[in-house]
Amino acid sequence: MGALLVNIDVPDAAAAERFYVEAFDLTPTRRFGTSGVELSGWPSPVYLLEQPAGSIGAADQPRGYARHWCPVHLDVVVDDIEAALARAVAAGARPETEVRTEAWGAIVTLADPFGHGICLIQFLNRGYDEIAGRA
């Protein structure tokens, strides 16, 4: 198996770069003209790819950057959920829930400025092992 790459379509690569650098302290490592940037700082590289709203994304579906639901989203594990939430909001994220605490940790959901869902997660105690059984 190879590596996992995270690709995020955005309508404005420069604005997306500012958000992800400010919100999550990622670092630009490579540029692909003016329409793409590679960010590092997470276990997988993140590629912000500029794609205009209305252009065809998958099959015959046009891209839209209003808040949208997608079964695939980013979970960002943080050490201090309140500080991480404040930083993300200051960078332009929109919180969608209050921080809630579960047996495994704390979670808050938000959207980036381009409609993509993100969860901030702070593991507590043994993290998911608090609720996990044997597979």
Q: What is the mean pLDDT of residues 69-95?
A: 95
Confidence of residue 70 (pLDDT cuts 50, 70, 90): confident
Specify the range with the lowest mean pLDDT, choosing from 58-62, 82-86, 111-115.
58-62
**Residues 8-33: pLDDT tens digits?**
999 999 999 999 999 999 999 999 99
pTM for this one? 0.91
Q: Where are the beta strands (DSSP E) in the chain?
A: 6-10, 27-31, 36-40, 46-50, 56-58, 61-62, 74-77, 94-95, 100-101, 105-111, 117-123
57 pLDDT tier (thresholds 50, 70, 90):
confident
Backbone φ and ψ of 128, nearest 5°: -60, -20
Locate 32 and state its tokens. 């692909």
Euclidean distance between CA atoms 91 and 77, whole angstroms: 18
Q: How many CA atoms lie within 13 A of 61 on its CB side?
A: 6
Which amino acid type is present at position 21?
A: V
Which residues, 6 or more positions from 101, have their beta carbon under 8 angstroms from its beta carbon?
124
CA distance 20 to 112: 9
Q: Based on DSSP, count helices (H) and strands (E) in the chain, helices before strands.
A: 2, 11
Please check the confidence at residue 125 and state whether its pLDDT lies above 80: yes
Q: What is the pLDDT of residues 33-55, one digit of tens each?
A: 999 999 999 999 999 999 999 99
